[in-house]
Amino acid sequence: MSHQSVSSPPDETLASVVVVDYGLGNLRSVTRGLERAGAEVTISDDPDAFVEADGVVLPGVGAFREGIENADSIRDDLLAVADRGQPLFGICLGMQMLLTTSEEGETDGDAAVQGLDLVPGTNVRFAQGQKVPHMGWNELQVERDHPLVAGVDGQYAYFVHSYYAVPDDEGAAVATTDYDLEFPSIVANEAGNVFGTQFHPEKSGETGLQILRNFVEICAEE
């Protein structure tokens, strides 16, 4: 188990957050963003740290299969975070891992790789003539109330992805973004404690910082 503590920001911390270290993702920039938003951050893959934290962040960059396989040893611990009602925040690949499956897992001929199934649905590849990956700034359209999206309707966030989420329940889309088709850029489970952004809040300037602040406030209220 790697367990690395990260210094908290000088001003008052509002909540303790664990950034899950499972070998994928730029943990440093996510950590810095969370610290700026008022979190005390620990980077860890220790399930005990998940239990003690006010909230858990599942970051991720790369392929769905690799993400799921890397996180396999802590799958039950991540499901337990959701089960306890703790806030669980997936970013980019981390968001896609909250769903049930991905077409990306099927391309090499194997059976579909099983995601966490916390937001039932599948991830599909952009295939309507869009340039892949979808890369750069795009607009967020808030579709329903959720504390994560306070103050960000119509704002722009930074995306880099080739697959997008198609939840079984349309109501799982908290915000959508248009890229020749409308896709969910923020999803959440029915209980509202499991959610994810397809974009990178830590690379999305003021909009991203607002979302990270909203997340820290959700954690502080738990």
Q: What is the DSSP string of 139-152?
A: E-EE-S--GGGTT-
Among the options 35, 134, 202, 219, which is catalytic?
Answer: 202
Residue 219 is among the residues annotated as catalytic for this protein:
no
Using the structure block, give the residue that is written with the tokens 């210094």: 7
Among the options 40, 104, 161, 200, which is catalytic?
Answer: 200
Using the structure block, give the residue that is written with the tokens 């994560």: 148
Residue 190 is among the residues annotated as catalytic for this protein:
no
Per-residue pLDDT averaged across 104-122, rounded?
79
Residue 200 is among the residues annotated as catalytic for this protein:
yes
Model pLDDT for residues 19-76, shown as the tens digit of each residue: 999 998 779 999 999 999 999 999 999 999 999 999 999 999 889 999 999 999 999 9
Q: Residue 112: its pLDDT value, please?
A: 63
Q: Residue 107: its pLDDT value, please?
A: 58
Model pLDDT for residues 152-209, shown as the tens digit of each residue: 999 999 999 999 999 999 999 999 999 999 999 999 999 999 999 999 999 999 999 9
Cα distance between residue 113 and residue 105, in whole Å: 5
pLDDT band at 105; cut points 50, 70, 90: low
- Reference 128, options 182, 51, 168, 85; nearest CA is 182
For the chain, the 3-state helix, strand and coil shares in percent, each to the nearest 5, are 30, 30, 40
Among the options 92, 104, 134, 161, which is catalytic?
Answer: 92
Cα distance between residue 172 and residue 174, in whole Å: 6
Asked if residues 186 and 215 have their Cβ atoms less than 8 Å apart, the reply is no
Cα distance between residue 219 and residue 210, in whole Å: 14
Reading the block at residue 31, the tokens are: 């950590």
